[in-house]
Amino acid sequence: MQPTLSLYNTLTRRKAPFQPLNAPFVGVYLCGPTVYSEAHVGNARGPVVFDVLTRYLRHLGYTVRYVRNITDVGHLEGDADEGEDKISKRARAQQLEPMQVAEQYTNLYQNHMEALGCLPPDITPRASGHIIEQIEMIQQIINNGFGYETNGSVYFDVPAYNAAGRGYGKLSNRVVEELLAGSRDNLAGQDEKRSPLDFALWKKADERHLMRWASPWSEGFPGWHLECSAMSRKYLGAEFDIHGGGLDLMFPHHECEIAQSQACNHPTNEAQVWMHNNMITVNGQKMSKALGNFITMSQLFEGTNTTLSQAYSPMTVRFFLLQAHYRSTIDITDDALQAARKGYRKLMNGLRLLDKLVLPQGTEQTADTAAADAELRKLSADCYTGINDDLNTARTIASLFNLLRKLNAYAANLATLAQVSTEALTEATTTFRTLVQDVLGLQDEPRANVEDLLGLTLDFYKIAKQSANQAREEGNMEEATKHYGEIDRIRAALKDQGIVVKDTKAGVDWAYSEE
């Protein structure tokens, strides 16, 4: 029996068995990108982690509704309540409509997530398509005494919220008095606010803002924090199961989301479990444009960033992101990516191995397979231990390698399969295939007509080998040397493509290079 899935909840700061609010249904919301530029490798970690989470929840039998939004309005420069909208600024610079910019980078983002093996969310709402819902939510907040209008803009009243005992800061574990002490000097230029902690629910548009909508307060646009509260509530209800995002979003974005949901009708903490993936560093440093180590997804896939020595395939990147626990930092380096490529190829070779694990004809099954069955079943069960422990994909991958070593041992001497029962072997191969492909989402990356090309090349290899052996038997070493040279050239050419030729007793075969 598989252990219960436990998840770490940022809100409670403890790990606990996951219990859906309305089993078998599970609602999951992940904060998506602001589509004013191309996504960088750090933007990919959350989608990959939550893709594994939703895949695993479905594997466990839950019916999941997975929502990942697109922010196409309201996210101002500096993540604060002043400055120009990031998308409007890019549109102005490129002399485009803001929605052209948003559409361009939305499509690019979704293409990159698909390449990384992320299944499409069930719903991908856009902030600009939910203005009515956001206006309705603001009105509820005002009616409940937690919002106020000033000069056409509407702000959330954090002091009033805290006076009502709602606890602003409980997600990020921040104390309001300390926040106030550190923010009073920042109130300059924001004299519309009653408190420096207050945040925008609606902003009156000035002449710089190209995107604007009519509202009861002004022609303007919604605040950045508001959109996720409104859209998650629309598609998942006032309270749902899991809300996720990067650790950098915990404060103020997610903190403000909880405050908004608490201040509405049917007050809740929005989600019962809040999950945050950690950040990515590059060669030990924080990734930033100023340091010149900012890596976009296209640069990673094409090898065009000076930080990288070569291109890395999407599945290599996915494996790289999953070989660390989601709550730990992960450092991206050339060495780490090359190691990830080896690990990914090792698992792909494992998948190719599974169908070959067949007891040779004429070999009798051992009467007592209990010891071998117990060992194989323990290796299989261990593969689930990690992922059930707060989605620890790093531990699961390590366990899969342990299981693969045992399966490789059987493959090296198929006669030893007589020592294990068919049932235990089937359980082991099913576990390996299911976790690698269906849960971790690691797939064999397509190569154009790879089987046909490899088959043709291996035919040439066989002919050259037969000719070399025949020439050697006839004592014609000059002819043999010529054919051996051809064999070496074929081997070298295939190795350059990540393929190694394997001479076995059964004939010539191939495998992915793990170097």
Cis? peptide before 216, omega within 30° of 0? no
- Residue 253 is labelled as binding a ligand: yes
- Residue 406 is labelled as binding a ligand: no
Render pLDDT for 236-263 as a digit per residue (tens, 0 to 9): 999 999 999 999 999 999 999 999 999 9
pLDDT of residue 450: 67
Q: Are 3 and 385 in contact (CB under 8 A)?
A: yes
- Residue 255 is labelled as binding a ligand: no
Render pLDDT for 390-421 as a digit per residue (tens, 0 to 9): 999 999 999 999 999 999 999 999 999 999 99
- The DSSP-derived string for 179-223 is HHHTTGGGGTT-TT-SSTT-EEEEEE--TT----EE-SS-EEEE-
Residue 269 pLDDT greater than 90, yes or no: yes
C-alpha dist (Å) from residue 349 to 311, 393, 404: 21, 19, 10
- Residue 59 is labelled as binding a ligand: no
pTM above 0.85, yes or no: yes
Q: Are 416 and 410 in contact (CB under 8 A)?
A: yes
Return the CATH number of the domain spanning residue range 285-439: 1.10.730
pLDDT of residue 189: 47
Reported confidence tier of residue 188, pLDDT bands at 50, 70, 90: very low
HSE value, Cβ hemisphere, 13 Å, CA-based, for 283? 10
Do you know the residue count of the chain? 515
Specify the DSSP element, H or E, that contains 17: strand 14-17
- Residue 264 is labelled as binding a ligand: no
HSE value, Cβ hemisphere, 13 Å, CA-based, for 334? 9
Domain 21-277 class? alpha beta
